[in-house]
């Protein structure tokens, strides 16, 4: 492996046209199905609450399976902010965490901070992760645009 930085901690933000209590669902395993094309979490066990700490699920993209574990959740619809964090492992590629924090923004919107903290597990994954890091602002912009399109077509219904 190269001497280049291996672990990448990437933080960025986006706005969602809902207050945090309502926007929170869009960043949950089931809720992401509403706006992420092809997102279909699979749970090895039945779950009543897909954000309960300890919940395990898997996703598949580009023929690779990623295993996720809910680490932490703070969500009370009566409180102004919310957060959720996940551990994620794509076997043989990378491992780390993803955190989402929602705070009240202007005009009833949410200011959302998304942090990916990933460590590559192979030399090939180092290059892939470097590319992900370079494109991270555009990646989050694509989330903002996809969520806005979803809210527009659904009338904000969840």
Distance CA 27, CA 31 (A): 6
* 150: nearest Cα among 57, 43, 18: 18
Structural domain includes residue 129: yes
Helix axes 123-134, 136-154, angle to 10 degrees: 60
Q: What Å distances lie between residue 41 and 59, 76, 96, 141, CA to CA?
A: 5, 24, 18, 22
Structural domain includes residue 80: yes
Computed on alpha carbons and rounded to an integer, the radius of gyration of the chain in Å comes to: 16
Q: Angle 11-76-59 (CA atoms, 0-180°, nearest 5)? A: 50
Structural domain includes residue 139: yes
Structural domain includes residue 44: yes
Distance CA 118, CA 1 (A): 16
> DSSP state, 93?
T
pLDDT one digit per residue (tens) for the chain, 158 residues: 455 558 999 999 999 999 999 999 999 999 999 999 989 999 999 999 999 999 999 999 777 899 999 999 998 877 778 999 999 999 989 999 999 999 999 999 999 999 999 999 998 899 999 999 999 999 999 999 999 999 999 876 54
Domains: count for the chain: 1
pTM for the complete prediction? 0.91
**Dihedral (C-alpha) 47, 69, 94, 139: value to the nearest 10 degrees?**
70
Structural domain includes residue 45: yes
Domain range spanning residue 26? 8-156
Distance CA 104, CA 21 (A): 9
Specify the CATH number for the domain of residue 54.
3.30.530.20
Structural domain includes residue 1: no
Structural domain includes residue 2: no
Contact 103, 81 (CB under 8 A): yes
């Amino acid at each position: 492996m190269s001497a280049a930085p291996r672990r990448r901690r990437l933080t960025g933000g986006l706005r969602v046209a809902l207050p945090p209590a309502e926007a929170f669902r869009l960043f949950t395993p089931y809720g992401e199905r509403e706006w992420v094309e092809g997102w279909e979490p699979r749970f090895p066990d039945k779950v009543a609450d897909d954000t309960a700490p300890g919940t395990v699920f898997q996703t598949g993209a580009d023929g690779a399976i990623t295993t996720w574990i809910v680490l932490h959740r703070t969500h009370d619809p009566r409180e102004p902010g919310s957060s959720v964090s996940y551990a994620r492992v794509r076997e043989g590629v990378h491992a780390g965490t993803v955190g989402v924090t929602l705070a009240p923004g202007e005009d009833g919107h949410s200011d959302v901070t998304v942090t990916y903290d990933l460590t590559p597990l192979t030399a090939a994954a180092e290059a892939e992760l470097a590319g992900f890091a370079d494109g991270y602002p555009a990646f989050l912009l694509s989330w903002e645009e996809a969520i806005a399109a979803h809210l527009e077509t659904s009338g904000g219904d969840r």
